[in-house]
Amino acid sequence: MLQRNHRNYEKSEIQTGQMGKYLGFGLLTNTGDDWLRQRRLIQPGFHRQRLQALTREMQAVIEEECARAAGEADFDLFKFTRQIAFGIIVRALFTNGFGERETRRLHTILDKLQAYVIYPIRLPFLRTPLRLTGIERRHLALARESRELVQRQITQRKACCTRDPAQSPDDLLQMLLDSRYEDTGEPMEDRQLIDEILILFAAGYETTANALAWTLWLLLKHPEELARLRTDADPDYLTQVIEESLRLYPPAWITDRVALGPDTAAGFTIDPGYTIGLFIYGIHHSPRYYAEPEVFRPARMHPDRKKERHPFSFLPFGGGPRLCIGNHFALLEMQLALRHLVDHYTVEGVGTLPEPVPKPYITLHQDRPLRVRLVEYL
């Protein structure tokens, strides 16, 4: 469904129509030929070498947020990682744009939209009551406001670049503005550009924030692994820690596909119109692929160990042609954040650290706040 016969499958109306209504029809929510055209246009901007140019901006956000958190007696872990991830995506997209007030407003809007959209997605019978009571209308108004905020940034950037092209910053917005379709040589229309930016915001910060929060909690529960990170500067081991956290708590914990035509797989007959749920969390916790799958064991993510397993036994970013375009971006910001925290701070739980239960919203949340503190090394 994701690789060998992927052309026979599309994302369902849940992932396209319902999410797109509020978050825009960008790469995550787009399908078919339109998706492929957009993917080919945008893909070059997310190559590893291009992302390295954003490292300084990412690092600046991480340092600012850690210093701010270290000044507090204690704070909620997930709120902290959300501030880091949202700050990074803002800086990566608009290095010289979004002001503090606009950033806070966009953050609030996207939080409200993502908290709301789970209801019409998971409980379709609520769609009519949500519409009749005006709740849907209020959230559609928030979606329009988010588009207006982004449109202002696009308009300002175009005007600035027209006056002085040499001053164009090397950020993701400029990459999107400079991209041209192969068949026409034309740039994206503003409407599509806004869709892609909003999807980058929506998909690019909450997923990473969740992953970083789970990783820090796992390290607090396994002080021996945290101690090894402090003494082991090997970036491969840092990546193993992150990947093992993504195995246990994949932010994108499930996805789906709808069969366009008949198919067979593993002895099953799949009829056209069938919706298949791809339970990524279940694959990651399967004893068929992982010994003691509930145990946090970064060593199992050593490159040699990974070669021994089926390549689709680890799917934190999906797989096949629709592999998440931001996978390298997400891994880079998590690596930078963890390395800075481990090198400069002691992360401590406040009181008895609770055992959060995964809460399956659109992404995999923690079901309770975790109070922690940062103590800077002297």
Domains of the chain: 6-376 (1.10.630.10)
pLDDT for residue 17: 87
d(CA 110, CA 76): 19
d(CA 366, CA 374): 20
Segment holding 131, helix H or strand E: helix 127-132
> What is the residue-wise DSSP string for 204-268?
HHHHHHHHHHHHHHHHHH-HHHHHHHHH---HHHHHHHHHHHHHHS-SS--EEEEESS-EEETTE
Range 266-286 burial, b when 16+ CB lie within 10 A, else e: eeeebeeeeebebebbebbee
d(CA 65, CA 51): 21
pLDDT for residue 78: 93
- Contacts from 225-234 at CB under 8 Å and sequence distance 24+? 225/296, 225/298, 226/342, 226/347, 229/338, 229/342, 230/342, 230/343
Q: Report which of 258, 285, 284, 286 is spatially closest to residue 272, judged by C-alpha positions.
A: 258
The overall pTM is greater than 0.85: yes
Q: What residue ranges in the chain does DSSP mark as E strands?
A: 9-10, 75-76, 255-259, 263-265, 268-270, 275-278, 345-349, 358-360, 364-366, 371-376
Burial class (CB in 10 A: 0-12, 13-18, 19+), 135: middle
Strands 75-76 and 371-376, bridge-based pairing: antiparallel
Site of tokens 């994206």:
188
The pLDDT averaged over each successive group of 10 residues in the chain (378 residues) is 94 87 89 90 83 88 95 92 93 81 90 87 87 94 95 88 72 89 91 92 88 96 93 89 98 94 93 94 97 97 95 95 92 95 92 88 89 88
- Taking a C-beta distance cutoff of 8 angstroms, is the pair 332, 222 a contact? no
Helix axes 135-163, 100-122, angle to 10 degrees: 140
Counts for the chain of helices (H) and strands (E), in that order:
15, 10
pLDDT for residue 215: 97
Neighbouring CB atoms inside 10 A of 47's CB total: 10
pLDDT for residue 165: 67
pLDDT for residue 170: 81
- Taking a C-beta distance cutoff of 8 angstroms, is the pair 224, 49 a contact? no
* Residue 369 tokens, joined: 């706040």
